Chain A
Amino acid sequence: MSERTLYDKVWDEHTVTELPTGQTQLFVGLHLIHEVTSPQAFGMLGERDMEVAYPDLTHATVDHIVPTADQSRPFDDDAAEEMMSELEQNVRDSGIEFDDPTTGDQGIVHVIGPEQGLTEPGTTIVCGDSHTSTHGAFGALAFGIGTSQIRDVLATQTVAMEKKKVRKIEVTGDLGPGVGAKDVILTIIRKLGVDGGVGYVYEYAGEAIESLDMEGRMSICNMSIEGGARAGYVNPDETTYEWLRETDAFRDDPEKFEAHKEYWESITSDADAEYDDVVTINGDEIEPVVTWGTTPGQGIGVTEAIPEPDALPADKQETARGSQEHMRVEPGETMQGYDIDVAFLGSCTNARLPDLRAAADVVDGREVDSSVRAMVVPGSQRVKEAAEAEGLDETFREAGFEWRGAGCSMCLGMNEDQLEGDQACASSSNRNFVGRQGSKEGRTVLMSPVMVAAAAITGEVTDVRELPEVAVQ
């Protein structure tokens, strides 16, 4: 069993008691909710005549179903409007703060928490959304929960959980040019498998992780769940503290900042902490990664050949065959040159300001290929505003990208942004499951924001490191 890791310390700090099931009743410091998974929980609460116990510790946003073109009410889609109204009703009745689109603070739940300073090191954070692991980038213990557990949190501000093992994943060395956080996490998932993290929480460490900005760390923690781990975290350090200092929570309150910082520093993993497992990955060797299949574990370096299913472990062969058939790719070839129809730059994995900046750098002075529909969907209204202040929207528009409003958008087929027919999409999101982007025949290729930008320009999967220089105008 792990000892003296951040996970152990935060777990102990939040333990209420042990339940008869052997599970721990864990206090929840921050509960985030959105429109898709919460209405049924409020319904269950109502059926039992219960009230929200700690409304101040729950925070709501709307992201999955919001249109990203025209957000005026009522929404065109009746089902979306109904979900929105239901959420409005629930937060009003319970006294929960809600960042609706009129506030300027709306956005994807895993983008708005950190940017407002709601996400703090050493806290426990839950949300009815598997990518809640994102918040672990700050050294929070953050995990996705189901709707019945949302009911528990609303009613008691606690969840019943079993303690997991801790695997330290050390990424050594320096990431090369054109290589970023997304490539690191896709490499980790490929190495450890989509179920390699079941039963574990991942602690990401090593120079390559420590040298990442907060947004990069969020991209990594975000996809912990794609590796089967319910939570992932990075120990907080100066990068974390500097980021937090500038958020709403602390900007005007240096005393509160110092007081909290003392706690944050106390919960980091000790130098002699014990782990259940340690894995080391050489960051120098990572190249831009793209997926060739229909699970996030089916990734390869952009210059590598798509594997022969027979050469994979026995339990992965059949899935691989099905994936290759769906994607229409041939083993032995690389993914370079794979035609794409849509370029999607968005989602809670990669739609924060540095993601947009890096992609804008690539598209600056270039033009989107005529066969491609390219879109940028900022992760939140604040990201959008900040990007516009820097003129990134102009850069994207001039190149031929659509510049849209904040939301989950084409990450999943729950709003009007969807793939059609068998379109292939270069996507900065986190899931390439069949049907995920709204079309059963749709084909998703996961990659980093700069790789999405490169694919948009050439109309095919392209090594961003090889994109020819733009002629000086």
Chain B
Amino acid sequence: MSEEVVETVERVTGSGIPVRGNDIDTDQVIPARFMKVITFDGLGEFAFFDQRFDDEDNEKDHPMNEERFRDASVMVVNANFGCGSSREHAPQALMRWGIDALIGESFAEIFAGNCLALGIPTVTADHETVSEIQAWTESNPDDDIEIDVADETVRYGDHEVTVTVDEAQRRALVDGVWDTTALMQSNSGAVAETAAGLPYLDD
């Protein structure tokens, strides 16, 4: 059995990119036709594809098409981001495009869980705070935003704001236990015991 080396994610620093709108579903983050693949490699170029390109593959107006945001690694979004399909292809595509963390008003649960499995924090703040960060990234596309997961703060320019990090997510990232496979495998004895106690697994 290979020993797991899991990194801790206490802090993410990088320039920001605003992607505005509520209820952005994972069908928009990665359209289904790009999921006809058996690995996640190469999904990055298809992130938000239908928002970024028209039918003739001409670029549309979208922050991810703007040169100034090309190197961004912190995506700043609004409410209920990542709703809909459970596809992990969505955070995989964002990660492979270059995103290491998201700040938003709220995230759909499965999406946030999928991000956590990749070590990507999804921190939340109220509408006003998020809008201010989005506006700031517009005028400061090259400047860093620092997300302190452990302290639940975000620093940008001369601002420091408090954000919320789901408690389990915070502990998983800060303690480096977000990759759960090895951890859970080490409990295999207890797992077998639980299974043995289930009345419907009798056969």
Contacts and interface: CB of A to CB of B under 8 A. Distances in A.
A86 B31 CA distance: 21
Interface stretch (B9-17, B62-70, B147-155, B175-183): B175-183
Given A120-B200, A157-B195, A318-B21, A39 B183 contact: no
B188 to A, nearest CB: 7
Contacts of B113: 145-146, 149
Contact of A40 (B1, B38, B80): B38
A263 B197 CA distance: 12
Interface in A116-161: 120, 122-123, 128-130, 144-149, 151-152, 155-158, 160
A128 B180 CA distance: 17
B60 to A, nearest CB: 11
B84 A130 contact: yes
Given A20-B175, A156-B185, A83 B38 contact: yes
Given A21-B172, A145-B110, A158 B191 contact: yes
A50 B106 CA distance: 35
A16 B191 contact: yes
Given A16-B187, A146-B117, A434-B28, A27 B198 contact: yes
B199 A15 contact: no
Query: Among B28, B32, B89, which residue has the most Cβ atoms of chain A within 10 A?
Result: B32
B23 interface: yes
B31 A413 contact: yes
A315 B88 contact: no
A256 interface: yes
Interface in A415-442: 431, 433-436, 438, 440
Classify chain A's interface size: 35 or more
B146 interface: no
A348 interface: no
B110 A413 contact: no
A22 B180 contact: no
A80 B36 contact: yes
B184 A198 contact: no
B88 A198 contact: no
Contacts of B31: 413, 435
B181 A29 contact: no
A148 B83 contact: no
B33 interface: yes
A114 to B, nearest CB: 15
B199 A259 contact: yes
A412 interface: yes
A198 B106 contact: yes
Interface in A79-111: 79-80, 82-83, 86
A37 B87 contact: yes
A19 B84 contact: no
Contact of A82 (B38, B79, B85): B38
A50 B86 CA distance: 24
B33 A295 contact: no
Interface in B16-74: 21-23, 25, 27-28, 31-33, 35-40, 50, 55
A146 B177 CA distance: 17
Given A195-B106, A315-B79, A319-B21, A414 B199 contact: no
Contacts of B128: none
B194 interface: yes
A260 B200 contact: yes
A13 interface: yes
A149 B194 contact: no
Interface string A233-268: 000000000000000000000001001101100000
B132 interface: no
24 contacts: A14-B194, A16-B190, A21-B172, A27-B194, A37-B87, A39-B38, A50-B181, A79-B36, A83-B36, A130-B84, A130-B86, A144-B110, A148-B114, A151-B181, A156-B181, A194-B23, A194-B83, A198-B80, A198-B106, A263-B200, A413-B33, A431-B27, A434-B27, A434-B28
Interface of A: 13-17, 19-23, 25, 27, 29, 36-37, 39-40, 43, 48-50, 53-54, 65, 77, 79-80, 82-83, 86, 120, 122-123, 128-130, 144-149, 151-152, 155-158, 160, 162, 194-195, 198-199, 225, 228, 230, 256, 259-260, 262-263, 295, 315-316, 318-319, 322, 412-414, 431, 433-436, 438, 440
List the 3 closest A-B pairs by CB distance, nearest first.
A148-B117, A146-B114, A147-B88
Interface of B: 1-2, 21-23, 25, 27-28, 31-33, 35-40, 50, 55, 79-80, 83-89, 91-92, 106, 108-110, 113-114, 117-118, 127, 166-169, 171-172, 175, 177-178, 180-181, 183-185, 187-188, 190-191, 194-195, 197-203
